[in-house]
Amino acid sequence: MAAAPAGPWGGVVLERLRESIAKGWPSGLTVLTGDDLFHLDRAQRALLEALVPNPDDPFACTVFADVPVAAGELVGAARSSGMFSSRRVVLVRDAALIQGDPEPLTAFAKAPPAQGFLLIRAPKLDRKRKLGKALAEAPRLLVFRAAGEGERPALLRVVAALARDHRLELARGTADLLLDVCGSDLHRIEREIEKLDLWLGDAGGAARSVDPAILRSLLAGAALLSGWELSEALLTRDRAAALEAARRLVDAGEEPIKIVGGLAWRARTLLKAKAMSEAGAPARDVVTAARAWSQERELLRGLSRYRLADLLAMPARLLGADRALKSRSIDPRAILEQLVFDLIPDTGPGGP
């Protein structure tokens, strides 16, 4: 199986991998790469579960995890077989551990033994180096690309499936809220779902329903939610909520410069959405441009409260706050509060 960086996102690649495993995974070299570490991790797990039925068998699998190893040594381990196990599986947790000329890897990929499997995890491949080039040319290169905006429906299905694994049923808008707060970081979303599971407690094996209000209660006061609430407050033009969220972020130890970066991101999406709206673009396209899928009503209402001139002035104000944080000895909280006052006027065209 081969894929290119511009190919399908990681969830699709994982499903195709599982179909191939069911038919029998061929011996030889397999390389797992890409920035979707969530599905890359699951692909690695699926391969090991299929190739190493008994994880307690010390002769079936060798893992190189911490110490540098020569390419020739890896191939030697993958080619060896003993009286206790005819199949040999070798896993390299990080391609950066591999040293020396990659030629043994290339030769192994071309002519692997019948029961020799070499799995190399390489999230980043530098194709300008000999090793990166050799791994990129592996006959089974699995590229796990992080989800883009177009994969949001698929991401929502993944979030719902993760919840079901913990006997949680997400009510309308809950999965959207998780994606809005955590982005497409499925590892982080999984951790939040695990916390929900523990927080709600056992229900005698029955599924438990989770709505956005329950999720907000769990995240209340956390920097994770405060960052989202600050972005939402700018979107809806709510100065009081923005000030409160910014203060909570500072109190939680969030770096002020990172808070400004989050505001800058939201300001850019708002400006793009406002320009599209005034140009007569469909509401659905405007919502997608602002990445406000779970806040469509709030976004459209908020856009009416901003003039285009207000939004065009935001980049200069954000730049000023950025420079002030980097060059002055003023209390960062004061700089952030002034920025909120500058970005969100007390009243506007559509009312407060």
pLDDT value for 2: 41
**CA dihedral over 285, 286, 292, 293, signed as positive or negative:** negative
pLDDT value for 291: 77
Per-residue pLDDT tens for 269-317? 899 999 999 999 998 889 888 877 777 788 888 888 899 999 999 999 9
- Please state, in angstroms and rounded to a whole number, the distance separating the CA atoms of residues 124 and 34: 6
pLDDT value for 220: 60
Structural domain count of the chain: 3
Q: Is 348 domain-assigned? A: no
- Contact in structure between 266 and 292 (CB atoms under 8 Å): no
Q: How is residue 54 written in tokens? A: 């008994």
Host domain of residue 110: 10-143
Q: Is 311 domain-assigned? A: yes
Q: Is 138 domain-assigned? A: yes
More confident residue, 70 or 54: 70
Contacts of 197 (CB under 8 A, 6+ apart): 166, 167, 168
Residue whose structure tokens are 């405007």: 286
pLDDT value for 177: 87
Q: What is the pTM of this model?
A: 0.73
Same domain, 153 and 137: no
Per-residue pLDDT tens for 134-150? 999 999 999 999 988 78
Same domain, 202 and 292: no
Per-residue pLDDT tens for 63-97? 999 899 999 999 999 998 655 567 889 999 999 99
Banded model confidence at residue 222, pLDDT cuts 50, 70, 90? low
Per-residue pLDDT tens for 171-221? 988 998 898 888 888 999 999 999 999 989 887 778 899 998 888 888 765
- Please state, in angstroms and rounded to a whole number, the distance separating the CA atoms of residues 279 and 163: 40
DSSP 202: -
Q: Is 350 domain-assigned? A: no
Q: Look at residues 120, 143, 166 and tell me which one is the last residue of a structural domain.
A: 143
Question: CB 309: neighbour CB atoms within 10 A?
Answer: 7
pLDDT value for 82: 57
Percentage, residues of the chain above pLDDT 70: 92
Q: Is 93 domain-assigned? A: yes
Q: Is 210 domain-assigned? A: yes
Gap between the terminal Cα atoms of the chain: 56
Same domain, 15 and 125: yes
Per-residue pLDDT tens for 6-52? 568 999 999 999 999 999 999 999 999 999 999 999 999 999 999 99
Nearest to 222 by CA among 258, 181, 169: 181
Q: Using the predicted structure, report yes or no on whether residue 348 has a pLDDT greater than 60.
A: no
CATH assignment at residue 169: 1.10.8.60
Mean pLDDT of 234-260: 89
pLDDT value for 302: 86
Same domain, 32 and 124: yes
Q: Using the predicted structure, report yes or no on whether residue 252 has a pLDDT greater than 90.
A: no
Contacts of 75 (CB under 8 A, 6+ apart): 104, 105, 107, 108, 118
- Please state, in angstroms and rounded to a whole number, the distance separating the CA atoms of residues 346 and 352: 7
- Please state, in angstroms and rounded to a whole number, the distance separating the CA atoms of residues 283 and 277: 7
- Please state, in angstroms and rounded to a whole number, the distance separating the CA atoms of residues 91 and 31: 10
Per-residue pLDDT tens for 98-111? 999 999 999 999 99
